[in-house]
Amino acid sequence: MSGGDMSDIVITGVGQVPVREHWDVSLRQLAARAILAAIHDAGEQKPQALYISNVLGSLLSRQANLGALLTCDCGMGGIEGTTIEAAGASGGAALRTAYLALRSGQVDCAMVVGVEKITDVVGPGVDKAIAETLDTDYEGMLGVTPTAMAALLMQRYMHEYECGHASFADHPLAASIHAVGNPNALYRKALSREEYEKSRPVCDPLNLHDIAAYADGAAALILTRSELVSKDFKSIPVRVSGSAVVTDRLSLHDRPDPLAFNAAGISISQACRQAGILPGDVDILELDDAFSIYPVLSVEAAGYAKRGEGTTWMKATVASGKPALASMGGMKARGNPLAAAGVYQAVEAVLQLRGEAGDCQVKGAKKALIQCLGSASATAAAHVLEITQKS
């Protein structure tokens, strides 16, 4: 779809809670805090529809029908509200749904909230719940988890391209350094290369620092069409110039080439084509780094690097800062609240484009590309966000 004479879809409000182990905060409270923060940020603009990204509510909080629960809790009772689920891509998929609703003209102001309450359950119970994002009959029931899937990919990658574990260090290290300046990040300590390489083996070849920790979080966005932005709006609207969701075969064992993250690559090319840019044109590139192998396979799929050269590209790109990777810590250091992760990406990109990213600010950032993945690129959501000139 080309831009043509269509109005722009813009983000006018963002809200987030720090990613933490929020023992004292429930699913509904997490969501409400992010929702109210976004409404306030948007100048008290109220949405007509709420799109909720959530995976684990039914499994870990025994709570379904979040649409009715959260709209009512937040004083928006009666409006449209539904849950969007696509594993780790849920946040991007919910943003896509809001985008389509606004494009359709049926909704003039939409809200996206990504929320995940994980820490009520610990250890094996969380792993089991998250494993339900795999094929339960042919993967999950055999004791396999998404962490194991990432390990299978990394093992195969290291075999095919004859590289060692250390070559995956650059994205996690950059993420950890960037998170130091992000008050909403879970881990605000810069990792050293030695700490990365010597961290505890979890699921070989994955070590502790190849894995983003799951934690509680909620993040929210308010979106509208550009012509509806109030003259009194004090902030800078951020345009959603490209939006795509693509799926692949759910299981690695069903893919002819598991190292080809096709959905990741296609969604980036679709979102960029819609925005009229090339993937290399962005100032900020926020990839799904739930596991350190993911961003490597994603940049190869998207054409940033040739097959087998993703780790080399990563090293050079971290050094140049163009584009800036994981500019506020990525999932690795901000933390991974599964369905909320993609919404955090959008919130962080908006802050960067507005120039409100504080110690994490990427100077002069004008375009951002964000991508989140459901399982190992079984679902991929990509969005291009751009700064608009304040009218």
List residues near other proteins by CB under 8 A.
123-125, 127-128, 131, 135, 137-145, 147-148, 151-153, 155-156, 159, 201-206, 249, 251-254, 258
Least distance (Å) between residue 291 CB and other proteins: 12
Least distance (Å) between residue 2 CB and other proteins: 31
Nearer to other proteins, 78 or 124 (CB): 124
Nearer to other proteins, 266 or 376 (CB): 376
Pairing of strands 49-53, 109-116: parallel
Nearer to other proteins, 108 or 127 (CB): 127
Distance CA 335, CA 116 (A): 12
Least distance (Å) between residue 298 CB and other proteins: 19
Least distance (Å) between residue 198 CB and other proteins: 16
Q: Give the pair of three-digit tokens for residue 41.
A: 């940020």
Continuous segment of H or E residues that includes residue 316: helix 310-320
Contacts of 375 by beta carbon, 8 Å cutoff, 6+ apart: 87, 88, 133, 134, 146, 149, 250
Least distance (Å) between residue 132 CB and other proteins: 10
Nearer to other proteins, 212 or 275 (CB): 212
Report residue 103 CA to chain centroid gap.
Answer: 22
Report residue 127 CA to chain centroid gap.
Answer: 20
Distance CA 204, CA 100 (A): 41
Least distance (Å) between residue 118 CB and other proteins: 14
Nearer to other proteins, 129 or 387 (CB): 129
Distance CA 113, CA 222 (A): 9
Q: Give the pair of three-digit tokens for residue 1.
A: 């779809």
Cβ-contact 286, 370 below 8 angstroms: yes
Nearer to other proteins, 32 or 215 (CB): 215
Q: Give the pair of three-digit tokens for residue 133.
A: 């994002």
Residue (of 66, 123, 128) closest to 340 by Cα position: 66
Nearer to other proteins, 214 or 344 (CB): 214
Q: How many other CB atoms are found less than 10 A from the CB of residue 255?
A: 17
Contacts of 141 by beta carbon, 8 Å cutoff, 6+ apart: none
Least distance (Å) between residue 299 CB and other proteins: 21
